[in-house]
Structure 1
Amino acid sequence: MKKSLILLFLTFTFFSYQEILTAQTSKVSTQAELQEAIFNAKAGSEIIMKNGVWNDIQIKFYGEGTKENPIILRAETAGKVTIEGVSNLRIGGKYLVVKDLHFKNGHTPTKSVIQFKINNDSLANYSRITNCVIDEFTQPNREDTDHWVELWGRHNQLDHCNIVGKSNFGPTVRVFLNGNENVYNYHQIVFNHFGPRPRKGGPHGETLQIGDSYTSMTPSYTNVSNNFFDKCNGEVEIISNKSNFNEYRNNIFFESEGSLVLRHGNYCTIDGNVFIGNDNSEFIGGIRVINTGHWITNNYFYKIRGNEFRSALAVMNGIPKSPLNRYNQVTDVVVAYNTYIDCKSPFQFGVGTNIDKKDVLPASEIRSARPERMLLANNLVFNHEEDQYPVVNYDDVGGVTFKNNYLNSENKSDVSNDGIRTSVFEVKKISKDLYVPTKNQEDVYHGFDFETIKTDLFGADRQKQNSVGAITLPITGNPLLIQKELYGTKWFSTEASNYKPKTIAVSSAKSLVSKLKSAHSGDILTLNSGVYKINATLIIDKNVTIISSDKGKKAELRFATGVTGFEMHPKGVLNLENLSLKGDKTQDAIVTLDKNMSKAFNLFIKNTEISKFKSVIKAYKASFADTIAIDNSSIKDCLTGILLNTEIDAKGDYNAEFVFITNSTFDQVQSSVLNYYRGGYDESCIGGNLVLKNNTFTNCGKADESGLLIQNHGIVNVDFSDNTFKDNPVKEIAVLWGEKGQKPVNNTMSNSGEIRIEQNLKQKLMY
């Protein structure tokens, strides 16, 4: 009898447990089923979204899980549930987990793709987004602002996600601290793969922003660790720190054109990070310092070639009594045990004062608060080139103390100090980007609280073996091998496809239209010699090359009255080579869409003749070219030239990042040849790049009301050299920005006005 009762009890318990398990797991295939499952979910529930495309879905995931039994929302198979169309996800409650989802082919209808709150009364706490992907889920209109992930509440986590391809306005990930319920948040942003993020052409393209100017004195305690920032080129700030007590540890910044910027906020820790540049870019930066109490330790910098705002260590002057949205003075900052290999002038002070250090002048009254009580100690600088200029000072550095910093060759900087020492030492190459010293430099400085720096870059105990620089010997293995599989998901990759481009022969206008439409990205269309009468606009929405098959005989594309030549769409890349393009002055040769230019286009014109068009290139507002390059080409008898002048809102934006015009001729262009404009000014922005070199301009500009042949208002980086100007009836050829070091070099002018240098160009401050 007793045994029977026990058996009956166990049987009842087993079936009750099975019933609980069944109740806790819900597999859903429609939006209605999903919302019903969320409504009924309890601690320990698991909601499984059926594999497939979930289109135009706005998910509100809420509930009260527990630490031991969270409520989980996941894909049936990781990566096989795609969220597409006009869709988003909002979560609110406690101990919620979302995993394995893939956002693509769409955009959010709100200000965020994933938001850790449903509304102000329903925040997420102790919740997690993991193993998810947001892939080019960008707004159709590049000017529309959103954030792909917004963290609100406290103790939330974003981990093992891939977040790639944001091209519209707004930081990719943003942490909000508005209200007491969002401070002391202790968020974890870990093991993610961020990027690539393409260049945006102006500000508001950060990958990560923690806080904002008006909550910048607020304690956040956000932890950003073990992430891979991969070609995050959105703007000059990869990370914009705007709150207090945050930690940035063990992240890799790989060829990302910007810096980790301590823009606002105090008492942050930047430890064990790796910054990898290359020989080709001066836009790749390191760490920019503003404000108080930061500790910058154990970081490794390799081939950081940038200057000023993009130097390996950029220390800004502050503004006395600065408003919250400007720049506070640097005080009580420690920079210790860092290694700089082949970096161009790694330490730069007084950044932003815009002073030629050769002139003995004080900093401007606006940017006059120099660093105070700042310590640089136990840093190692090695350069394979003999000449070293480790310190660039745009203002006095009397408030900086140098202790036991070592160079491998003579210090040729203006700043000499007993704390900057030359010592003969060598480094050995461990991997593509890692050099380590062959022996330890053991003469270290023991500063106040330095005992808290317990380990080196790779976790070795500094109490057992200490040395100058980020790395102590011996090291085991190769700890800096970049293993992308450690970051983000296991199932998503940004690697290019294995498609092999095809060469496609074209012999007629009809064939050109049809084969252009069916071509794959990367294909080459070769045109036989002859005249192609084009009666429809040629759409460029992929990477395509159009080239004459016979280099000695240019194929001629002749466009009918009123028919635009080429229309650039998002992600379109057009390569024109050895062609002749002709219009009848009723059409534009190359034009962007007038709206919904969500992503950048690129244009490369080589050995090509362009004649008789209303304009050569016309960019509409909110369109953006990463690169426009015209080389060894001829442009003649057009009403106007290259129009990149529609961003006039004084917000710091512009229509192209790089404009290269080289070895070309311009003849009888009636209006200005180039109008490349940036409205609004913030000294830390990249600000556009123009190379105008070895060109000839003849009989151009007579109909331009501005009286300027070349207009480059607000563009920061300009190379204006080796050009010839002859018989151009303009008042001035160009106005160059003296404050930015712009000057004409080896130009020849005849009957063409002058090139004027304006030292302080009038610009409206963005903020």
Structure 2
Amino acid sequence: MKNFLALNLAFLLFSFVATGKDIIKVKNEAELKTAISSAKPGDEIILSNGIWKNIQIKFDSKGTKDNPITLRAETSGKVSIEGGSDLKIGGSYLVIRGLYFRNGYTPSKSVIDFHIDSSKIANNCIVTDCVIEDFTQLNRVRSDHWIEFWGRHNELSNSYLSGKSNQGPTIMVILEGNEQINNYHKIINNHFGPRPRKGGPHGETIQIGDSGTSMAPSYTTVEHNLFERCDGEVEIISNKSNNNIYRNNIFYKSEGSLVLRHGNYCTIDSNIFIGDENSDFMGGIRLINTGHWITNNYFYKIKGSEFRSALAVMNGVPKSPQNRYNQVTDAVVAYNTFVDCDTPWQLSVGANMDKSVVLPAQEIRSARPTRTILANNLIYNSSDAKAPIKAYDKIDGILFKNNIINTDYESKSEPKELQKNSFTLNKQSDWLYVPTANYTDVYNGFDFETIAKDIFGNDRSTKNSVGSMVFPVDKNKGQINKKDFGTSWFSNEAQVATPKTIQVNTQKELIKALSEASSNTIIELKSGTYKINESLKIDKTITIQSKDKKNKAILEYNGANNTAAFLMLPKGNLMLNAVILKGNNNQNAFTTKEKEMSAAYNLKIANSEISQFDYVLKTYKDSFSDTIAIDNSIIKNCKNAINLAAENDDLGEYNAEFLFITNSKFDNISNNILDYYRGGYDESTIGGNLVFDNNSVINSGKLETSGTLLKLQGIVNVTISNNIFSNNAVKTIAVLWGEKEQKESNNKIDNSGEFRTEQNLKQKMMY
């Protein structure tokens, strides 16, 4: 046996040497450049384990189909690419494996780029088993792409990408020039981890093409990927080219949709969309343009509406400019299942039905869907539900055939869009409901025989059924195993630190505790006064609270003018609870960094009192908060309260996603209570969210030059209810956006101006 193994080893070694294949291990940038320049088909270039910092790799080589050239980590995951680094690929039949990009950002326009320049474009190259984690620009509006596809027949597989918080799609497929069309790229078996909310457009996870090349054929396949909490913007995937395939992907609690924004003749088959009860922003598929087939998809608890509904079929713009909305024509939506979704079918979305609104011709979305069929779909509700269909215009261009629902439903049109059938589904997992029988009364439309299998690969030719799956269903279906996606060596299962409480008695102890604390630390203040002379920096999850809630600790900030008691840094999350915070009228209570706010912060204030500041919260351009919440607190004797209006370039950006102000009192605020601004209107971006409820606002606004107490320019979702406004020296409490159905309710107003509604609010269109 030993002799046999020795002979085989000798044979393999002889074969390797005889074919001229080399294994070259490199330890630094100079050795790497030399190895790349001399690489031959079949060679392996191995990066030594360790940190490779501030390195820009140009992998310019030519392998062959049978003998590709490989650039890989010595051990997958043990080679960290950090600092200002990137990788550009030019040539053919190249493989990159096992690299870990972290602790940095690209100095160019992309992290991994399938081209070096216009003369060195990658073809038949593979990036696999790699991770890009939090490799994001310091400035969130500086644009880049983490993966940029050029050329043809390139692949990203078995990789993990997570944490991009700056502008630009995570993956961008370029279609400029004949070298890039008919590209047949593959994006397969990847795990797209959480992408945080960006606060504006240009936060897609994948974009294939752009408006200018949207009529070009791409033939890109996006298959068997997990999209986990990809919340960057309304479009998780933005399709902007022809003939692409989206198949067998899972969209898990992601706030957005797979959007056929431009381009034609795409296939969306056998994908799973999983939502929950907690978000109105989780979407499904948005349909625009011509010739798409949407088949075998499963939607669970998709609660979004309009642009983010489970199925949104858009109205188009007649003679649409290339960057707007083309009419939906010749589309097929068949054999899909919708379980416990709120109004899952929203049709003619975006129709301009209000005749009093005057819009330019390129904005009038009056081209209704036509020559489109919805057939053999199943809608199931486990309890009473909202109406299954909402039409924003006539839907006479859509043919409905053999769609069934299990709850009562009345249609005003003939034939009825849905047929009542008292069928049942059994719950097989947290999100999967499976049929107990087949519903074989199916419509056989033109080319429907090409829908040969169901969502789990079962053959439809021998037995068929309405909905995405055919009975019986494998009992092992319904579980998501993250190990089936992404790399073999990386896990995004974060270890949550056990909360630790530190009790402090002096300002010196407070500063020391804050600087040394790990995330999730609770700092408890003994009653008394803490004189703070420099900003307290928050860059982790911290709670600061009084030990005795009835005898609150006092933080007295005596720092320089225009500084802040608390400086919010990227990834800083502060809860201030039961604390009295005082200034000297010339500083701010909370601010963000003026530059390099690479990631979002969160600020929560409860049961506290804040007084004698210039601004309670002052934000700077390019900063972004996911959530700001003020509850049961008193804010008094300040010049300004909440300022979220630093994004003034009118490019669709804004400074906070969610703002909750509840059960609180504002007294003697010289200027406005709130300035919350979003300029540059893209109607598909559903952002800016305010809840202002059960507050009292008194004796404020006497120096406010705009005459408005709550300034809400361009904010989309606004609730102002159950408040008291008394003796405020303003003409207007707030201007509400009538087109977005913003309303105030149950507010008591005494000598404080009025609410005003503007139906056609003046907004600069971004496009």
Shorter chain as denominator, the TM-score bin is over 0.9
Which residue in the other structure is 2:3 paired with? none
Which residue in the other structure is 1:742 paired with? 742
Write the distance in 1 (CA, Å) between the matches of 2:384 and 2:736.
35
SS at match of 2:564: coil
Structure 2 counterpart of 1:553, which letter?
N
Query: Could you say if the C-alpha distance between residues 708 and 20 of structure 1 is closer, same or farther in structure 2, counting changes exceeding 3 Å?
Result: farther
- State the number of aligned residues: 754
| Partners of 1:694 and 1:723 within 8 A in 2 | yes
Deviations 1:79-111 (A, max 9, x none): 000000000000010000000000000000000
| Partners of 1:221 and 1:245 within 8 A in 2 | yes
Write the distance in 2 (CA, Å) between the matches of 1:11 and 1:111.
46
Write the distance in 1 (CA, Å) between the matches of 2:685 and 2:21.
55
CA positional deviation for 1:536: 1.1
Write the distance in 1 (CA, Å) between the matches of 2:129 and 2:72.
10
Which residue in the other structure is 1:368 paired with? 366
CA positional deviation for 1:512: 0.6
Query: Could you say if the C-alpha distance between residues 561 and 484 of structure 1 is closer, same or farther in structure 2, counting changes exceeding 3 Å?
Result: closer
CA positional deviation for 1:39: 0.6
SS at match of 2:236: strand
Q: Does 1:618 align with 2:621?
A: no
Structure 2 counterpart of 1:754, which letter?
E
Query: Could you say if the C-alpha distance between residues 588 and 24 of structure 1 is closer, same or farther in structure 2, counting changes exceeding 3 Å?
Result: same
Matches within 5 A, 1:606-685: 606-685=606-685
Matches within 5 A, 1:222-621: 222-355=220-353, 366-412=364-410, 417-562=415-560, 563-621=563-621
Alignment equivalent of 1:73, drawn from 71, 74, 77 = 71
| Partners of 2:21 and 2:41 within 8 A in 1 | no
Write the distance in 1 (CA, Å) between the matches of 2:118 and 2:60.
13
Instruction: Please say which of residues 250-259 and 431-440 is displaced more in the overlay.
Output: 431-440
Write the distance in 2 (CA, Å) between the matches of 1:447 and 1:552.
72
Which residue in the other structure is 1:200 paired with? 198
CA positional deviation for 1:387: 4.3
| Partners of 1:644 and 1:676 within 8 A in 2 | yes
Which residue in the other structure is 1:83 paired with? 81
Which residue in the other structure is 1:711 paired with? 711
CA positional deviation for 1:391: 1.0
Which residue in the other structure is 2:4 paired with? none
Alignment equivalent of 1:150, drawn from 139, 145, 148 = 148
Deviations 1:425-480 (A, max 9, x none): 11100011100121111100000000000000000000011000001101123223
SS at match of 1:180: coil
Write the distance in 2 (CA, Å) between the matches of 1:388 and 1:199.
28
Query: Could you say if the C-alpha distance between residues 355 and 478 of structure 1 is closer, same or farther in structure 2, counting changes exceeding 3 Å?
Result: farther
Which residue in the other structure is 1:4 paired with? none
Deviations 1:8-40 (A, max 9, x none): xx9999986564578610000000001100011
Which residue in the other structure is 2:184 paired with? 186
SS at match of 2:640: coil
Structure 2 counterpart of 1:257, which letter?
E
Write the distance in 2 (CA, Å) between the matches of 1:575 and 1:353.
43
Which residue in the other structure is 2:701 paired with? 701
Write the distance in 2 (CA, Å) between the matches of 1:554 and 1:320.
63
Write the distance in 2 (CA, Å) between the matches of 1:298 and 1:15.
50
Which residue in the other structure is 2:42 paired with? 44
Query: Could you say if the C-alpha distance between residues 123 and 551 of structure 1 is closer, same or farther in structure 2, counting changes exceeding 3 Å?
Result: same
Question: Which runs of 5 or more residues in structure 1 are unaligned?
Answer: 1-9
Query: Could you say if the C-alpha distance between residues 419 and 639 of structure 1 is closer, same or farther in structure 2, counting changes exceeding 3 Å?
Result: closer
* TM norm structure 2: 0.96
CA positional deviation for 1:412: 4.3
Deviations 1:550-579 (A, max 9, x none): 111111000004252000000000100000
Aligned residues: CA RMSD:
1.7
Q: Does 1:114 align with 2:112?
A: yes
Query: Could you say if the C-alpha distance between residues 256 and 13 of structure 1 is closer, same or farther in structure 2, counting changes exceeding 3 Å?
Result: closer
Write the distance in 1 (CA, Å) between the matches of 2:601 and 2:354.
36
CA positional deviation for 1:355: 3.9
Instruction: Please say which of residues 30-39 and 379-388 is displaced more in the overlay.
Output: 379-388
SS at match of 1:325: coil
| Partners of 1:629 and 1:661 within 8 A in 2 | yes
Question: Which runs of 5 or more residues in structure 2 are unaligned?
Answer: 1-7
Query: Could you say if the C-alpha distance between residues 422 and 17 of structure 1 is closer, same or farther in structure 2, counting changes exceeding 3 Å?
Result: closer
Query: Could you say if the C-alpha distance between residues 414 and 135 of structure 1 is closer, same or farther in structure 2, counting changes exceeding 3 Å?
Result: farther
Which residue in the other structure is 1:28 paired with? 26
Instruction: Please say which of residues 607-616 and 486-495 is displaced more in the overlay.
Output: 486-495
Which residue in the other structure is 1:5 paired with? none
CA positional deviation for 1:300: 0.1
Structure 1 counterpart of 2:279, which letter?
S
SS at match of 1:154: coil
Write the distance in 1 (CA, Å) between the matches of 2:212 and 2:564.
48
Write the distance in 1 (CA, Å) between the matches of 2:621 and 2:66.
52
Query: Could you say if the C-alpha distance between residues 413 and 581 of structure 1 is closer, same or farther in structure 2, counting changes exceeding 3 Å?
Result: farther
CA positional deviation for 1:42: 0.5
Deviations 1:345-381 (A, max 9, x none): 1111111125479x9xxx9971110000010000000
Deviations 1:670-719 (A, max 9, x none): 00010000001011101210000000000111111111000011000011
Matches within 5 A, 1:97-136: 97-136=95-134
SS at match of 1:240: strand
Which residue in the other structure is 2:766 paired with? 766
SS at match of 2:456: coil
Structure 2 counterpart of 1:687, which letter?
G
SS at match of 2:179: helix
Structure 1 counterpart of 2:512, which letter?
S
Which residue in the other structure is 1:6 paired with? none
Structure 2 counterpart of 1:678, which letter?
R
Write the distance in 2 (CA, Å) between the matches of 1:15 and 1:140.
48
Structure 2 counterpart of 1:721, which letter?
S
Write the distance in 1 (CA, Å) between the matches of 2:540 and 2:637.
30
Write the distance in 2 (CA, Å) between the matches of 1:190 and 1:435.
26
Deviations 1:152-175 (A, max 9, x none): 000000000000000000000000
Write the distance in 2 (CA, Å) between the matches of 1:214 and 1:412.
43
* TM norm structure 1: 0.96
Instruction: Please say which of residues 343-352 and 97-106 is displaced more in the overlay.
Output: 343-352
SS at match of 1:36: helix
